[in-house]
């Protein structure tokens, strides 16, 4: 909307502008600065007397600096605003040469029949600093959560590594006994044993590689991953726990898109947390047979990874709190698992939702929009 404002540089208008907390800059239709309030002086480091008469582009770093003239003439010719009445985040250029993140909203006024543009700017530096700190904290928290999950799986992992090591020891003993038998049968058997030793060593190495990957620190980094392999590799972390409990984990893959651009570690972290929650719930209930189903579905440009169990499910009165940090019903729970998982889902442009499973227990659905993540 265009307002007709008596703009005559009156003392009362100056006082009003200078009292404003936000930076206010008024320019004419060619972008020449005609008014620059005190907050603008503080934000940009210029004295009003020095900047008035200069073009707005002085306050902009490239590429906006070079394009501003085009934006303005496009608007004046077509009436199609790119920023007027909308407001958005832009980068300003301080007199010292450093850039400043600002929120800019632009209004249009008529003064003495002439077009004027009023820019209202708010410094976002502090807000950006907090946002960056929050992102770092979230990533540290996610890392800590992975370490906790790994800590809980360590006993099983130790067993997973111990098994191939025991096998390697037994094969080596058998090989040592054969070594003096200088005949073809012994040589063939020795070759066979060496093959098995190498296979078992690789198996132990794989377990360690999985552990190391999950314990890594890191920012969100999306690259293409085979979703089926990603899910299976997360499930392998539970091999031992599943064998020890009565629970079975079944997978159902029903998706067309094979390679999906996701952060492998983070999606595995979601799976580890959800499966762990299911196994915890099943361990506490006497459901027979205890089952966890992991489905991967694809529909309407979305991938859905569903983890569902036939345990007791979530008490309806707890449902609204499930994704709150530190909500737990477990004696030794931290209550961070689901809140971190939801953050990861949102960082991928998706979501994580709960609903009661038709199998009676809990059903968590991680949705990942293919259009967004692609
Ligand atoms: N599959 C499930 N079946 C039943 N209840 C569940 C299930 N998954 C989660 N919950 C409920 O949600 C709560 C929060 O889960 P969340 O994973 O956030 O924390 P936690 O498992 O208690 O602790 P941790 O931080 O160690 O994961 C659990 O304490 C439990 O009450
Ligand atoms: Mg949990």
370 compared with 111, residue with greater pLDDT = 370
**Number of compact structural domains in the chain:** 3
- Pick the atom of ligand 1 nearest to 335's CA: 19
User: What residue's CA is closest to ligand 1, atom 19?
Assistant: 335
**Residue 32: what pLDDT?**
94
- For ligand 2, the distance from its centroid to the CA atom of residue 275, given in whole angstroms, is 9
Confidence of residue 363 (pLDDT cuts 50, 70, 90): very high
The closest residue, in CA terms, to atom 28 on ligand 1 is 328
Question: 366 with 290, same domain?
Answer: yes
pLDDT bucket at 68, cuts 50 / 70 / 90: confident
pLDDT computed for residue 1 by the predictor: 45
For residue 76, what pLDDT is reported?
A: 73
> 106 and 71, same structural domain?
yes
Within this chain, do residues 269 and 151 fall inside the same structural domain, yes or no? Answer: no
Average pLDDT (192-200) is 92
Q: Compute the distance from residue 311 Cα to the ligand 1 centre, in Å.
A: 12
Inform me whether the pLDDT recorded for 312 exceeds 90.
yes
- In this structure, which residue's CA is closest to atom 17 in ligand 1? 337
- Domain CATH number, residue 280: 3.30.565.10
> Of 123, 143, 177, which residue is a domain's last?
123
Highest mean predicted confidence (pLDDT) among 8-22, 32-46, 234-248: 32-46
Residue 15 corresponds to which tokens in the numbers above? 């006082």
Of 99-113, 143-157, 207-221, the range with the highest mean pLDDT is 99-113
Q: From the alpha carbon of 333, which atom of ligand 1 is closest?
A: 23
> Cα separation of 25 and 247, whole Å?
67
Clarify whether residues 111 and 151 are in a common domain: no
Q: With cut-offs at 50, 70 and 90, classify the pLDDT of residue 219.
A: low
Output DSSP code: residue 32: B
- Which of 186, 219, 252 marks a domain boundary? 219
Test site for ligand 1: of 292, 335, 354, most ligand atoms within 8 A of the Cβ: 335
> For tokens 């073809």, what's the residue?
184
Domain limits for position 214: 125-219
Q: Which of 328, 329, 341 to mutate to test the pocket of ligand 1 (most atoms within 8 A of CB)?
A: 328
What pLDDT score does 40 carry?
Answer: 96
372 C-alpha to center of ligand 1: Å?
Answer: 28
DSSP 54: S
- The ligand that comes nearest to the alpha carbon of residue 339 is 1
- Expressed in angstroms and rounded, the spacing between residue 293 Cα and the centre of ligand 1 is 17
Q: Mean per-residue pLDDT for 263-283?
A: 91
Distance CA(119)–CA(24), nearest Å, equals: 6
Of the residues 337, 341, 342, 364, which should be mutated to test ligand 1's pocket, given the most ligand atoms within 8 Å of the CB? 337
Q: Residue 81: its pLDDT value, please?
A: 66
Burial zone of 17 (CB within 10 Å; 0-12 exposed, 13-18 middle, 19+ buried)? buried
Same-domain pairing of 107 and 137: no
Cα 329 to middle of ligand 2, angstroms: 10
Q: Residue 364 pLDDT more than 90?
A: yes
Q: Is the predicted pLDDT of residue 260 greater than 90, yes or no?
A: no
Best of 271, 338, 345 for a ligand 1 pocket test (most atoms within 8 Å of beta carbon): 338
* Residue 214 sits in the same domain as residue 237: no
Question: Is 119 found in the same domain as 133?
Answer: no
The CATH code of the domain that includes 211 is: 1.10.287
310: tokens are 């036939």
State the closest ligand 1 atom to the C-alpha of 340, by its place in the atom list counted from 1. Answer: 18
N- to C-terminal Cα distance for the chain?
Answer: 39
pLDDT tens-digit series, residues 96-132:
999 999 999 988 887 777 888 999 999 999 998 888 8
Cα 335 to ligand 1 centre (Å): 6
Provide the pLDDT for residue 220. 66
Ligand nearest to the CA of 335: 1
Average pLDDT over residues 165-192: 89
222 or 228, which is more confident?
228
Rounded mean pLDDT, 322-346: 89
| Whether residue 298 has pLDDT greater than 80 | yes
Whether the CB-CB separation of 44 and 149 falls below 8 Å is answered with no
pLDDT higher than threshold 90 for residue 26 = yes
Q: What is the pLDDT of residue 373?
A: 43
Mean pLDDT of the region 174-193: 89
Domain boundary among 123, 141, 174: 123
CA–centroid distance, 276 to ligand 2, in Å, is 6
Average pLDDT along the chain: 86
Q: Does position 291 have pLDDT exceeding 80, yes or no?
A: yes
- Residues whose beta carbon lies within 6 Å of some atom of ligand 1: 273, 277-278, 281, 309, 311, 313-314, 318, 322, 327-330, 333-339, 361-362
Is residue 196 located within the same domain as residue 262? no
Task: Give the per-residue pLDDT at 8.
Answer: 52
CATH of the domain at 17: 3.30.450.20
**Cβ contact 366:304 at 8 Å:** yes
130 vs 132: CA distance, rounded Å: 5
Separation of CA 323 and ligand 1 centre (Å): 9
User: What's the 329 CA to ligand 1 centre distance in angstroms?
Assistant: 7
> Which burial class, exposed, middle or buried, applies to 234 when counting CB atoms under 10 A from its CB (0-12, 13-18, 19+)?
buried
One domain, residues 147 and 203: yes
**Residue with the two structure tokens 């058998």:** 174
Q: Are residues 138 and 26 in the same domain?
A: no
CA distance linking residue 159 with residue 188, whole number of Å: 31
Same domain, 112 and 260: no
Q: Same structural domain for residues 231 and 361?
A: yes
């Amino acid at each position: 909307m265009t307002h007709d404002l008596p703009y005559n540089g009156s003392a009362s208008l100056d006082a009003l502008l200078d009292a404003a907390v936000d930076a206010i800059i008024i320019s004419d239709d060619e972008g020449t600065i005609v008014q620059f309030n005190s907050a603008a002086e503080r934000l940009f480091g210029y004295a009003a007397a020095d900047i008035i008469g200069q073009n707005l582009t002085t306050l902009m770093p490239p590429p906006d600096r070079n394009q501003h003239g085009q934006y303005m003439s496009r608007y004046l010719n077509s009436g199609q605003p790119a920023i007027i009445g909308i407001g958005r985040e832009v980068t300003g250029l301080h007199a010292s040469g450093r850039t400043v993140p600002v929120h800019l909203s632009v209004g249009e006024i008529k003064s003495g029949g002439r077009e004027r543009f009023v820019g209202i700017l708010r410094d976002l530096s502090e807000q950006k600093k907090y946002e960056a700190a929050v992102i770092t904290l979230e990533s540290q928290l996610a890392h800590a959560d992975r370490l906790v999950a790994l800590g809980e799986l360590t006993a099983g992992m130790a067993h997973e590594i111990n098994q191939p090591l025991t096998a390697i020891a037994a094969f080596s003993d058998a090989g040592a006994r054969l070594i003096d038998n200088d005949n073809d049968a012994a040589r063939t058997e020795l070759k066979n044993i060496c093959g098995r030793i190498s296979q078992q060593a690789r198996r132990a190495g794989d377990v360690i590689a999985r552990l190391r990957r999950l314990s890594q620190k890191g920012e969100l980094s999306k690259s293409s991953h085979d979703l089926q392999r990603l899910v299976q590799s997360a499930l392998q972390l539970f091999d031992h726990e599943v064998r020890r409990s009565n629970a079975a984990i079944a997978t159902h893959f029903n998706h067309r898109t094979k390679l999906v651009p996701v952060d492998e570690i983070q999606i595995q972290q979601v799976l580890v947390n959800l499966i762990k929650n299911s196994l915890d719930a099943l361990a506490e209930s006497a459901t027979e047979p205890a089952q966890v189903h992991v489905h991967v579905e694809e529909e309407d440009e979305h991938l859905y990874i569903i983890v569902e169990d036939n345990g007791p499910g979530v008490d309806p009165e707890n449902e609204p709190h499930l994704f709150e940090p530190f909500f737990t019903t477990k004696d030794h729970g931290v209550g961070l698992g689901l809140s971190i998982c939801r953050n990861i889902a949102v960082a991928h442009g998706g979501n994580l939702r709960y609903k009661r499973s038709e199998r009676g227990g809990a059903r968590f659905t991680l949705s990942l929009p293919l259009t967004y993540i692609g």
